[in-house]
């Protein structure tokens, strides 16, 4: 947690080719600001795992500065009531990359106003990382701002 340089790629998913998914984590996130992006997220994982974060993201699509800090879950739930636009709800599935310890695909199946949308992200060690391309990987949407979660809170998938 704290400061990091976020380098990621984002893709649509061919849901018909997905492997069996592990247990996912329920996430709800809301935005307190869009410039810069200030997000609060709660996460309820397998068992009784509950976490919450506040994240500040700089400008950029592939690589950008990110500051992330743990906050108490109960406080995050109250802060989410202050969010601008609608909350984004999704279940996240973490799929490890073979031959790359510590790296994982983060596959999000959206709910609510964004139901029907499935995207997957890969945080990479650098912009030139030669990542594997599983058969379920669809069109790359890294540089399409419509697929950013902050945008989905303002312009939900159901309205496309």
Q: What is the DSSP letter of 46?
A: S
Radius of gyration from C-alpha coordinates of the chain = 15
Q: State the residue for tokens 């697929």.
A: 147
- Helical spans, DSSP H, in the chain: 73-79, 149-154
Task: Determine the Cα–Cα distance for residues 91 and 23; give it in Å rounded to an integer.
Answer: 9
Question: Element (H or E) spanning 99, and its range?
Answer: none
Question: Which residue in the list 31, 69, 93, 147 is annotated as catalytic?
Answer: 31
Assess whether 53 carries a catalytic annotation: no
- Contact between 50 and 43 under an 8 Å Cβ cutoff? The reply is yes
Catalytic machinery residues: 31
């Amino acid at each position: 947690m704290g400061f990091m340089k976020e380098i990621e790629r984002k893709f649509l998913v061919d849901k018909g080719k997905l492997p069996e998914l592990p247990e996912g984590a329920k996430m709800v996130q809301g935005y307190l600001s869009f410039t810069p992006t200030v997000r609060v997220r709660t996460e309820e994982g397998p068992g009784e795992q509950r976490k919450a974060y506040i994240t500040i993201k700089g400008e950029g699509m592939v690589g950008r500065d990110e500051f992330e800090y743990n906050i108490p879950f109960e406080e995050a739930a109250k802060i989410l009531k202050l969010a601008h636009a609608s909350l984004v709800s999704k279940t996240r599935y973490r799929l490890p990359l073979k031959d790359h310890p510590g790296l994982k695909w983060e596959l999000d199946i959206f709910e609510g106003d964004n139901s029907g949308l499935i995207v997957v992200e890969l945080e990479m060690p650098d912009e030139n990382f030669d990542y594997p391309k599983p058969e379920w990987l669809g069109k790359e949407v890294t540089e399409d701002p419509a697929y950013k979660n902050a945008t989905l809170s303002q312009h939900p998938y159901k309205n496309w």
